[in-house]
Structure 1
Amino acid sequence: SLWLAGHGVPPVVGGAQVTLVPLGVTLIALFTAWASARRSGVVDRSAFVSGTVAYAVVVGVLGASVAGPVAGLRGLVGGALVGGTGMAAGLLARPEAPTWRELTRPWHGRLPIVIATAAEAATIAFASLVVVAALVVTGWVLAGRTTIVAIADALGVDLLGGAVLALAELAFAPVLVVWAVAWIAGPGFAVGEGSHFAVDAMTGGTLPAVPMLGALPGGDVVGGPAVLAPLLVVACGTVAGWYVHRGLRGRQGLRAWSGSAACVATAVITGLVAAVAMLPASGAIGPGRMTELGAPALLVGGVVALEVLVGSLLVVLPTDRLLRAATAQALLRGWQRLRRR
């Protein structure tokens, strides 16, 4: 059931459906699919399709046998996404495989250069944001280590129980990183109905005795320097803006607005990816208050897009040669009209 949950098939524990996806299991499944394809896969479209279909069918059949036909359908979709992504990455990692750029050249060449550059810049922006979120979570764990140890001692589990609890927490540890993205951006996240963890406010409540939850940011983190956390997302946007500037520099056929348009596209793509990332990290993990965990996907995506846009424009606007020339010409024309009046 835990393995199926990593593919989006929610298990039922104690009569309550657990819809929060253990992203650690998802990452392990991706890694094993990647390792298998990289070791013994054949770089061929039919091999990729057959491997993905076989993986999806296994997940779908197991999901249907455990939780019914709806779970089986979810297993088919989740298995195709996880297995297909892992196998594609593994096949591309083989020595005889074409590079990613060679593989995507037919599509990449059809896209406008502004959109193609923006897609690459958005990848850099979101990857940078995930790294920053992981560092923030590390800080949370270090700051809350006393609480974490106290909860673990209070549980009084034996060696086997402690090992099982540690593995379960590792399965959900990437979820904490996704929540940190929402916290850094500003909207924050909830761990239980009525709770809210954000940089400017913290409303807690009774939480399950799980050591990992002792790492959640407490009231001592709210306010002060923490309110500047959204600037970290802006900084990720400046990295993306630098890439946009480098990617468009020297290109033919660009307009004065091309750099700005690339920044807007970068922000939109980054916001969409952030919103999608919030979906598996939101849901229920128990009855009652524990049916509401995670962050509002649309709100987080919109805020991330706005902050990335600000950061990228801070780099692109002052360095865009075409925009500077067009602005200077517009100012000159305006001055000449005023003088004629």
Structure 2
Amino acid sequence: MLTRRHIRVKVMQCIYALIQSKDDSLPKQEKFLKVSIANTYSLYLLWLSLFMELHQRAANQIDLASKKYLNTKETAFPDELKFTKNKLLLQLIQSQTLKEELTNRKLDNWYLNEEYVKLIYNAILESTIYKNYMNSNDNSYESDKQVIIELFKEVIAPNDKIYEYFEDDKLTWIDDIPIVNTFIVRLFKKAKAQQKPDYFMPKLLKDKEDMDFANQLLSKTLLKNDALEKEIEGKTPNWDKDRIADVDAILLKMAICELLHFPSIPERVTINEYLEIAKEYSTPKSSIFINGILDKLTKEYKAKGKLNKMGRGLL
């Protein structure tokens, strides 16, 4: 789910939090990093559990409607049960591994905040996407899958109230939302009628090396802070560290740390990654500023033989 770029962003956030709090405790920041990465998966699970709650609410509403003496034809569809029979939603409901993970993590947010489920459910009912789906005679898995994807992209994910809820719950989720939302859409698009039991429980990180990379990047950047600052000095006219934006300074130090202390990562990969992060998280001119300094440093390191890169990625 998380790529190396996402991991770099997590490390950047940790260092930024350290600067703002003036707390130089490395163990504390390592713990913060671990929790921040783990919380990304919690956000993913909460989105899936929201779909499960929406399905349950739809079933409850149909049950209530069936007990009424009168049925309003204006709201009738060819099959009033169609949404509750949605095959993708049923896969989520029937996933035992998903249920167990939600229970283990005690993610009962929607049970405790039912008003958000009601809010989203009502928005779904009012949407053209839902009405077209309910009026359609197409009962295929692909049709069921497509309507959930469209509802998520157009109705659920853009909802301001849900966004505010996630923002208030955990600050790091603001940066995680685009990552997780994109992943969910891709996951749903690849979903098939017959899935493995753990399909909706993907790995958060590709392998142990990713977590090792996160910890090493954090610790080396912090422990070598003074040396990294000296690397920047003189590489920009009238350099004054107090005039460089905090995020730019952090990204520069992280990038230099990778160039000098991560031999298996090609320098071009490092530079490109931090330029992209700068475009998203810093000022409009930051990527140009950072690129200029890293370009000078890379040439200098190569000339002095300090850029010792090795590994399959360099062949």
Band of TM-score, shorter chain: under 0.3
TM-score (norm 1): 0.25
TM-score (norm 2): 0.26
